[in-house]
Amino acid sequence: MQACMSNIEANELVKRYADFTAVKGISFNVRQGEIFGLLGPNGAGKTSIINMLIGLARIDGGEVHCGGLTYTQQVDGRVQTLMGVVPDESNLYDEMTGLDNLVFCGALYSMAKPARIQRAQELIRLVGLTDHEDRLFRSYSRGMKRKLTIAAALMHRPNILFLDETTTGLDVASAREIRSLIQDLNAAGTTVFLTTHYIEEAEQLCHRVAFLVGGRIVRTGTVTDLLRFDGGRTVVQLALNQNAAQAARALTAAIPDTEVEVLDETTVRVYGGERMNLIPYLTVLERFDQQVFEAKVLKPSLEDVFLQETGLTTAAMRSTNGGGRRST
Amino acid sequence: MTKLIPFFSILYKDMRNYYLKPPNISWGIVFPVAWTLMFFVRSESPVDLQQLLPGVVALSILFGTTSMLAVTITFERRSRSFERLLLAPFSVHYLMLAKTSGAILFGVLNALVPVILACLFSGLELLEIRWGVLVPAVVLISISSTFLGLMIAVSVREVFEAQTFSNFFRFPMVFLCGLFIPVQQLPVLLRPLSYMLPLTYGVDALRTATHGVGMLPVAASFTILIAFCAVLFAISIRNVSRNWVY
């Protein structure tokens, strides 16, 4: 029953703003206990999707199944008790203290006073704001505000936590703390649905990721599956002592089905099968008096996969973190 | 009983965050006092002041409630904290009733100030007042003015827009609703406008409470005021559902 209640299934969701269609009939499902990420550049439709799921935007087409209920236009109040929402901007009350904000949020879900005070204190401890609970929210730093906003979303013990661009605009340390908090919450059983335009964040946090571009999902899968976008090929980069072009010709001639790319005068990239035996390559190179100084196995990053799948350029994803293949 | 927890929490939060802040308390007292003194200075006898009491009471409520609501709702929407309320598991009707309850109370308290001043300075006897009419009239004026403020607040995006838009309704009401010039003495062409404004009926009921005579029977004024409340609330809810849930 619990498993059923936490799942979200969206079918053919559509969102229109006047003549502009922001979400163009997308479908996906979020499984119990997973962290599901919606990854896309700004303007891809991420916030529109999250707003339709939580009830801040009307659904113009399609339907959502959540908590055993189906809604086609407006979210049901019973579903809202299952959801905790952390918006892209902290939206608690500036003129209230951190503790009072949480207690008030608990009251919105009809929690009795002793229970909501206890829960608020428990969450203040969880997010590490015990020393600041009596300070006004307006005096908090951006990172502290975001942590308290997450705590506010957890007051009524939701099954599903929606996080919209949660680490956007935070410094590195705060963003890391928030990611760690999200992982801890998920480990404790909370299903997490997050939107982000930080590729590294999605790669680090999510069990499954959907790539969203122009209001359409272009690919969904586990991070591991998505990283096998080259059909499971292995890429090895070799640093040679001389004439990379000649080495490439020798390798292509000697080893069938080998693809070699010359990067510069002394570097080549060799593309092989899923499990690549390097000995034949090294033997051929030795025969041609090549010395191999370094061999790096390159794994694709999620950014590579994202850019390949979406056809976007790195410039279009300028605001994202990291990039390129990672070497091991 | 637990269903009332969100209602009273929102009311308590609004009272604490907005209505009971020193500037607003002083606004709630100074504004009615200023209206009363203004007319006290102009009046030639205490009797005049008694004549003006219904108008001053109605004005105090109208300006108090609409000003406050323009701030609390528009400001919270601007800061996005209103989204938190929209995400909570209760209906928009429930939410709006909770959000307006503070302003209604504020309006009722505003109304007390000129009544107390009139008793102190104009020789108005408390026993002369028909409390059975005055109290429901004050409450209904507070509710209708608050819902007017709500309708204005949910139709705009900025606090200054709400204040400007409020004046579009408030200032004509000062002249058209029989506050200081009886509706019967207005030019014939303006009278239909008077009958289209809720405050006309509120002032008439107040006049019955303080002087024993009104243009309409009290029951009729109350019924019309209740109808205005229902219409204004329905328009506000429709605007919130249409414009705030995108």
Per residue in A39-83, pLDDT (tens digit) is: 888 888 888 999 999 988 889 999 999 878 888 877 777 888 889
The matching CATH number, chosen from 3.20.20.70, 3.40.50.300, 3.30.950.10, 3.40.920.10, for A8-222 is 3.40.50.300
| Structure confidence at residue A219 as a pLDDT band (50, 70, 90) | confident
Q: Render pLDDT for B120-130 as a digit per residue (tens, 0 to 9).
A: 877 777 777 88
Report the pLDDT averaged over residues B101-114.
90
With beta carbons under 8 A apart, name residues in chain A contacting B17. Answer: 93, 95-96
A37–chain B Cβ distance below 8 A for any pair: no
Q: What is the pLDDT of residue A315?
A: 59
* β-strand pairing of A83-86 with A61-66: unpaired
pLDDT at B193 over 70: yes
Residue B217: domain span: 4-243
Q: What is the pLDDT of residue B147?
A: 95
Put simply, whether B1 touches A (Cβ < 8 Å) is no
Q: Locate all alpha helices (DSSP H) within chain B, ordered by sequence.
A: 4-14, 22-42, 46-78, 81-86, 92-121, 131-153, 159-176, 191-195, 198-211, 218-239
What integer is the mean pLDDT of B33-46? 69
Size of interface A-B (CB pairs under 8 A): 66
Q: Given a cut of 70, is residue A1 above it in pLDDT?
A: no
The percentage of chain B sitting over the pLDDT mark of 90, rounded to a whole number, equals 40
Tell whether B240 is within 8 A of chain A (Cβ): no
Higher-confidence residue: A55 or A151?
Answer: A151
Higher pLDDT, A232 or A109: A109
Closest to B203 in 3D by CA, of B177, B222, B223, B229: B177
| Dihedrals phi, psi of B130, to nearest 5 degrees | -85, 90
Question: What average pLDDT score do residues A98-107 get?
Answer: 96
pLDDT at A325 exceeding the cut of 50: no
pLDDT at B139: 96
pLDDT in tens, A252-277: 888 888 888 898 999 999 988 777 88
How many angstroms separate the CA of residue A38 from the nearest CA in chain B?
21
What residues of B are in contact with residue A153 (Cβ under 8 Å)? none
Residues ≥6 apart with Cβ < 8 Å to A119: A102, A106, A111, A155, A157
Cβ neighbours for A31, distance < 8 A, ≥ 6 positions apart: A7, A191, A208
What pLDDT is attached to residue A229?
58
pLDDT > 50? residue A319:
no
Question: Does A8-222 match A230-299 in CATH topology?
Answer: no
Whether A56 contacts chain B with CB within 8 A: yes
Which residues does A305 contact at the CB level (< 8 Å), separation at least 6? A226, A227, A229
Return the residue in B2, B7, B13 with the most chain A beta carbons within 10 A, the one to mutate for interface testing.
Answer: B13
pLDDT, tens digit (0-9, with 9 covering 90-100), for B10-38? 999 999 988 888 877 777 778 777 877 77
Question: Which pLDDT belongs to residue A321?
Answer: 39
The span from the CA of B79 to the CA of B74, in Å, is 9
For A257, phi and psi rounded to 5 degrees?
Answer: 60, 20
Q: Which tens digit of pLDDT belongs to each residue from B91-105?
A: 999 999 999 999 999
The residue of chain B with its CA nearest to that of A15 is B246
* Mean pLDDT (whole number) for A271-299: 86
Tokens encoding A201: 């964040």
Fold exhibited by the domain A230-299: Alpha-Beta Plaits (3.30.70)
Cβ within 8 Å of A, B 22-81 = 79-81
Give the pLDDT mean for A97-110.
96
Q: What is the mean pLDDT of chain A?
A: 85
- pLDDT the model gives residue A40: 84
Name the residue ranges covered by the structural domains of chain A: 8-222, 230-299
Least confident of A117-126, A184-193, A298-307, B162-171: A298-307
pLDDT score at B144: 96
- Measure B214 CA to nearest chain A CA, in Å: 44
Range in A12-16, A320-324, B9-13 with the lowest mean pLDDT: A320-324
Structurally, chain B folds into a number of domains equal to 1
Q: How confident is the model at residue B79 (pLDDT cuts 50, 70, 90)?
A: confident
Contacts of residue A18, Cβ cutoff 8 Å, sequence gap at least 6 = none
Give the C-alpha separation, A241 to A281, whole Å. 15
Do B78 and B159 form a contact (C-beta atoms < 8 A)? yes
Give the model's pLDDT for residue B40: 67
Q: How many CB atoms are closer than 10 A to CB A287?
A: 10
- Does residue B93 sit at the A interface (CB-CB below 8 Å)? no
Give pLDDT, residue B234. Answer: 96
pLDDT of residue B219: 95
**Percentage of chain A exceeding pLDDT 90:** 42
Name beta bridge partners: A23. A15
- pLDDT tens for each residue of B194-221: 999 999 999 999 999 988 888 899 999 9
The CA-atom distances, in angstroms, between A150 and each of A17, A115, A190, B18, B85 are 29, 18, 13, 25, 16
**Residue A226: its pLDDT value, please?**
80
Q: What is the pLDDT of residue A276?
A: 81
Find the CB nearest A57 among B2, B90, B246: B246
Residue A128 is encoded by which pair of tokens? 């590490």
Higher pLDDT among residues A137 and A326, named by residue:
A137
pLDDT at A324: 41
Question: Rounded mean pLDDT of chain B?
Answer: 86
The Cα–Cα gap between B194 and B173 comes to 8
pLDDT at A156 over 90: yes
* Predicted pLDDT at A230: 56
Model pLDDT, residue B179: 81
- Greatest mean pLDDT among A113-122, A189-198, B176-185 lies in A113-122
Q: What is the pLDDT of residue B113?
A: 84
Question: How much is the average pLDDT of B106-120?
Answer: 85
Pick B68 or B201 by higher pLDDT. Answer: B201
Q: Report the pLDDT value the prediction gives residue B46, as an integer from 0 to 100.
A: 56
- Measure in Å the smallest separation between the Cα of A70 and chain B Cα atoms: 16
| pLDDT greater than 90 at residue A301 | no
